[in-house]
Chain A
């Protein structure tokens, strides 16, 4: 038995966050301000995501935490431990067994279902931030739907690199209204934003919550002659052989050796368990 209130936050705070979440779901893509609390972890480690998760959790939930697709990195492990300790909920590494998934920078490869909630950790919720530094002005631009500036950024990409070089945090338009930063997920994941699951975005330092309700239309911005391209490394996974997943490039020695592996560790492991093999898979031992 722990001395923490369920899921760390006090009940009034959770109510406040739930109100912000409900408003966010009612106005897809709109950034709802909320009174972000100090959490026992530094800003940038997912304080926003943790607060949203805490407000969503029930004792019956099963929680999965991923960081850049992996279940076993510091950020994922420490947040999972945090909720094991403060909420005593079941945790899992399997996407299909989880009811709440907190994620940093990836959407799981396995398709999500309508009884799941995906919580994103967001460092900077304002897609226009680096184009227009004034918050008063960006809010006005959202309110009046003045989004020409977003295309100026894409124009600059093409002018400088010959194509839209924005590879992550690729801006999207939600339900034909608000332009939204999907948090720094790779643009490969953008098509997966149209999902049957509820997607919640929490930015702790910036004190904003926004949401994409299930089956909401999400369009990645582009030009007519430079259409959106959800690109990925042009390789199959070296462990499970998948050619349809987002890959991490891993340097293996100092002689130019490298391998490409699925960034979603759970998906890769389950494929390997099903017998899929890649270029560098360990040879099967004779049973």
Chain B
């Protein structure tokens, strides 16, 4: 089986400081990889390098494209990379405002990716938008409301609908549950887990919330100061942490 995404020796430096270095992993179709670590450990840098938002200094990111098989996305031309970003990839931002167009209605937000890949039939676009709002539990009559009229949880769900409408194969998520209260978080996680399983998505989830990765991720990567200090199956890493930092991380969870 070809990995969907295969990363080798990825490094990104900010001047003399390390952003992330010596990162390598394989992600197989349908697999969810969690990346955890404290603030400043290079999680977001790594994710942005993978998604093409930042240019890494060294390394390669091989993505199994539909047409040509595995290709290094860092060597792709920009139009190709941006095309991937609209079709096979999706990026869920921590702050829904970064990922949504706040001045455009919910339906328009969901429809944007469809129109970006050439949909030109209003009725079809609207039907798909309605369908996707339903899937993320947003009432149909809110389709013409702007995201600014939505609660934080709804905005995050709308962002997810907007990203998944073109049927991507790989989703990057940067703290998808950050800033939401626990009950909303739980519903969002439930929804995400359902969608990931149902659509057979592969996902890379960056978070500092170990509960999130416990629920969603098959495999786990622990980062500290730009280095990957431990990786393995989620349950294995969380239940039997080997590295000192992972042990600290796991033992820091508050028990209610």
Chain A residues near B105 (CB-CB < 8 A): 156, 159-160
In the complex, are the beta carbons of A224 and B120 less than 8 A apart? yes
A146 in the interface, Cβ–Cβ < 8 Å? yes
Taking A146-B116, A148-B115, A149-B116 as contacts, is the C-beta distance between A225 and B121 under 8 angstroms?
yes
Contact for B104 among A144, A152, A158, A225, CB less than 8 A:
A152
B107 in the interface, Cβ–Cβ < 8 Å? yes
In the complex, are the beta carbons of A223 and B122 less than 8 A apart? yes
A165 to chain B, nearest CB (A): 13
How far, in angstroms, from A155 to B103 measured CA to CA in the complex?
13
How far, in angstroms, from A1 to B162 measured CA to CA in the complex?
66
Contact for A152 among B112, B120, B126, CB less than 8 A:
B112
Nearest A-chain residue to B82, judged by Cβ: A144
A209 to chain B, nearest CB (A): 26
Number of interface residues of A (CB under 8 A): 16
In the complex, are the beta carbons of B111 and A223 less than 8 A apart? no
In the complex, are the beta carbons of B112 and A223 less than 8 A apart? no
Chain B residues near A226 (CB-CB < 8 A): 122
How far, in angstroms, from A156 to B105 measured CA to CA in the complex?
7
B123 in the interface, Cβ–Cβ < 8 Å? yes
A151 in the interface, Cβ–Cβ < 8 Å? yes
Contact for B111 among A144, A152, A225, CB less than 8 A:
A152
Q: Which residues 94-139 in B have Cβ within 8 Å of A in the complex?
A: 101, 104-105, 107-108, 111-113, 115-118, 120-123, 125-126
Q: Which residues 211-236 in A have Cβ within 8 Å of B in the complex?
A: 223-226
In the complex, are the beta carbons of B122 and A155 less than 8 A apart? yes
- The proximity string for A residues 134-157 relative to B, scoring 1 for CB distances below 8 Å and 0 otherwise, is 000000000010101101100110
How far, in angstroms, from A159 to B109 measured CA to CA in the complex?
12
Size band of the interface chain B makes with A: 20 to 34
In the complex, are the beta carbons of B79 and A144 less than 8 A apart? yes
In the complex, are the beta carbons of A148 and B112 less than 8 A apart? yes
In the complex, are the beta carbons of B121 and A152 less than 8 A apart? no
A152 to chain B, nearest CB (A): 5
Chain A residues near B120 (CB-CB < 8 A): 151, 223-224
Nearest A-chain residue to B77, judged by Cβ: A144
Nearest B-chain residue to A154, judged by Cβ: B122
Q: Which residues 137-193 in A have Cβ within 8 Å of B in the complex?
A: 144, 146, 148-149, 151-152, 155-156, 158-160
Q: Which residues 70-100 in B have Cβ within 8 Å of A in the complex?
A: 78-79, 82, 86
B98 to chain A, nearest CB (A): 13
In the complex, are the beta carbons of B116 and A155 less than 8 A apart? no
In the complex, are the beta carbons of B121 and A156 less than 8 A apart? no
In the complex, are the beta carbons of B115 and A144 less than 8 A apart? no
Taking A146-B116, A224-B121 as contacts, is the C-beta distance between A156 and B82 under 8 angstroms?
no
Chain A residues near B108 (CB-CB < 8 A): 152, 155-156, 159
How far, in angstroms, from A148 to B115 measured CA to CA in the complex?
5
In the complex, are the beta carbons of A151 and B82 less than 8 A apart? no
Taking A148-B115, A149-B112, A160-B144 as contacts, is the C-beta distance between A155 and B125 under 8 angstroms?
yes
Chain B residues near A159 (CB-CB < 8 A): 105, 107-108, 126, 143-144
- What are 19 A-B residue pairs whose CB atoms fall within 8 Å in the complex? A131-B101, A131-B104, A144-B78, A146-B116, A148-B86, A148-B115, A148-B116, A148-B118, A149-B116, A151-B120, A152-B108, A155-B108, A155-B122, A159-B105, A159-B107, A160-B105, A223-B121, A224-B121, A225-B122
Question: In the complex, given contacts A148-B117, A149-B112, A152-B112, what are 15 additional A-B residue pairs having Cβ atoms less than 8 angstroms apart?
Answer: A144-B78, A144-B79, A146-B82, A148-B86, A151-B115, A152-B111, A152-B115, A155-B107, A155-B108, A155-B122, A156-B108, A160-B105, A223-B122, A225-B123, A226-B122
Taking Cβ atoms with an 8 Å cutoff, the residues of B that contact A are: 78-79, 82, 86, 101, 104-105, 107-108, 111-113, 115-118, 120-123, 125-126, 143-144
